[in-house]
């Protein structure tokens, strides 16, 4: 029997939609309306989900410290010991209560910079990594900003206090946050509700969402006169992580409301689906000698998180016929699910049942019957 392997393609477009449930969000095509001056939101793949005045250059306050922490751990080992410079006490405002001359590890100073948003911690790191020069450290910050493509950003200091020319944008702050959360040590620090420093000092986070919203992974708050109440943060649900920034809220409560609503709007755009269903019949292939066709079923299930407005393409590749015998569980094809040009999921297709090969008598009987049928068609 001829063994011809032909591609059998079944194309199924799957469109999945969900409704936005965030109270602050309204029509999906217009995006969320938030109590903030600017915002930016991206999904797991970096695609923009919402934006408002996202490239407007603005003060970002202590969100700056994300870059301070990134530069510090990329230019110093976490275990290195830092002697706190006497000049750090002069910075004021938010503080980790560092004492001039005390010794702390870089790891402790990074946590002190991010969790209680210590300006003294940021300065201590800058003096250490910059070899005693804040200007040299700021040069490293701006070089890293250029490397990350933060085109709207110019740093003038390591703590984010208002200063002419110290500007960024909601878009750049979100890119920076996403990069920082990709560094395990920083992801851990940004998710802490408090940090314990040498000497028994316990300082709490400035981030209200960590304790109040389980989906929240962490982020960085900021507040100055020029920046207003601002924050960059990330949240996760149903296998999706979204990253966003809100800038310029009028109050701390509005900042919390704005960022949570923005991130919830993003999470509502994703859902978990069964991209491939185990045991589902995806195709049938012919056998021979009049035996029944064989159903092909998926060997395993594959679940994926997808955005609600993305079309998925299902492709089944299998032979048009197979040679007997066929064993139950025998691999005979593949099912694939594509999202654009990207393969989202795939699984083997196997025979759902066994089909035996007939013996000699059975084959002869089939040939006779088939031949008789063909002759009858010719003469009738």
Nearest to 345 by CA among 268, 278, 269: 278
- Provide the residue ranges of all domains of the chain, joining segments of one domain with +: 38-268, 273-378
Q: Is 252 left (phi over 0), alpha (psi -120 to 50) or beta?
A: alpha
**Cα–Cα distance, 67 to 39 (Å, whole number):** 19
Measured CA to CA, the distance from residue 173 to residue 153 in angstroms comes to 9
> Do residues 205 and 231 lie in contact, with contact meaning Cβ atoms separated by under 8 Å?
no
Question: Is the N-terminal amide bond of 325 cis, ω within 30° of 0?
Answer: yes
Question: Cα separation of 220 and 267, whole Å?
Answer: 19
Secondary structure letter of residue 355 according to DSSP: B
Is 65 in the active site? yes
Fold match, 38-268 / 273-378: no
Nearest to 98 by CA among 75, 64, 121: 121
Instruction: Name the active-site residue from 37, 65, 144, 168.
Output: 65
Which of 3, 21, 37, 117 is catalytic? The answer is 117
Q: What are phi and psi of 305, to 5 degrees?
A: -100, 125
Please state which of the ranges 11-25, 83-97, 224-238, 278-292 shows the lowest mean pLDDT: 11-25
Q: What is the pLDDT of residues 15-46, one digit of tens each?
A: 222 223 333 434 455 689 999 999 999 999 89
What would the CATH number be for the domain defined by 38-268? Answer: 3.40.710.10
pTM: 0.83
Please write the tens of the pLDDT for every residue from 236-281: 999 999 999 999 999 999 999 999 999 999 999 999 999 999 999 9
Catalytic residue among 62, 94, 230, 249: 62
Just give the CATH number of 273-378: 2.60.410.10
**Which residues pair with residue 38 across a beta bridge?**
247
Residue 169 is among the residues annotated as catalytic for this protein: no
Which two three-digit tokens encode residue 127? 């003096």
């Amino acid at each position: 029997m001829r063994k011809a392997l032909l591609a059998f393609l079944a194309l199924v477009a799957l469109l999945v939609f969900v409704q936005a449930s965030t109270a602050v969000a309204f029509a999906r095509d217009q995006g969320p309306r938030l109590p903030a001056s600017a915002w930016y939101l991206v999904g797991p793949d970096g695609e923009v989900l919402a934006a408002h005045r996202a490239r407007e250059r603005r003060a970002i306050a202590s969100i700056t410290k994300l870059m301070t922490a990134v530069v510090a751990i990329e230019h110093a080992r976490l275990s290195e010991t830092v002697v706190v410079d006497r000049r750090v006490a002069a910075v004021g405002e938010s503080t980790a209560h560092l004492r001039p001359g005390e010794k702390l590890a870089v790891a402790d100073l990074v946590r002190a910079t991010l969790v209680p948003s210590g300006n003294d911690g940021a300065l201590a790191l800058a003096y250490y990594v910059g070899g005693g020069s804040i200007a040299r450290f700021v040069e490293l910050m701006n070089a890293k900003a250029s490397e990350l493509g933060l085109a709207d950003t110019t740093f003038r200091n390591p703590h984010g206090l208002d200063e002419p020319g110290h500007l960024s944008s909601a878009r750049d702050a979100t890119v920076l946050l996403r990069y920082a959360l990709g560094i395990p040590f920083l992801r851990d620090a940004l998710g802490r509700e408090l940090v314990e420093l040498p000497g028994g000092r316990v300082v709490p986070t400035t981030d209200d969402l960590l304790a109040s919203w389980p989906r929240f992974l962490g982020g960085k708050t900021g507040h100055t006169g020029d920046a207003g109440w601002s924050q960059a943060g990330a949240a996760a649900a149903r296998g999706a992580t979204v990253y966003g920034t809100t800038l310029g809220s009028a109050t701390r409560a509005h900042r919390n409301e704005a960022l949570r609503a923005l991130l919830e709007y993003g999470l509502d755009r994703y859902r978990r689906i069964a991209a491939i269903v185990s045991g589902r019949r995806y195709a049938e292939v012919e056998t021979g000698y009049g035996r029944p066709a064989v159903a092909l079923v998926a060997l395993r299930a594959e679940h994926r998180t997808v955005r609600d407005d993305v079309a998925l393409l299902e492709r089944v590749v299998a032979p048009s016929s197979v040679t007997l015998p066929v064993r139950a569980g025998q691999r005979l094809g593949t099912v694939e699910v594509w999202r654009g040009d990207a393969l989202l999921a795939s699984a083997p297709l196997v025979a759902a049942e066994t089909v035996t090969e007939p013996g000699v008598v059975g084959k002869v009987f089939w040939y006779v019957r088939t031949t008789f049928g063909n002759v009858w068609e010719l003469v009738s």
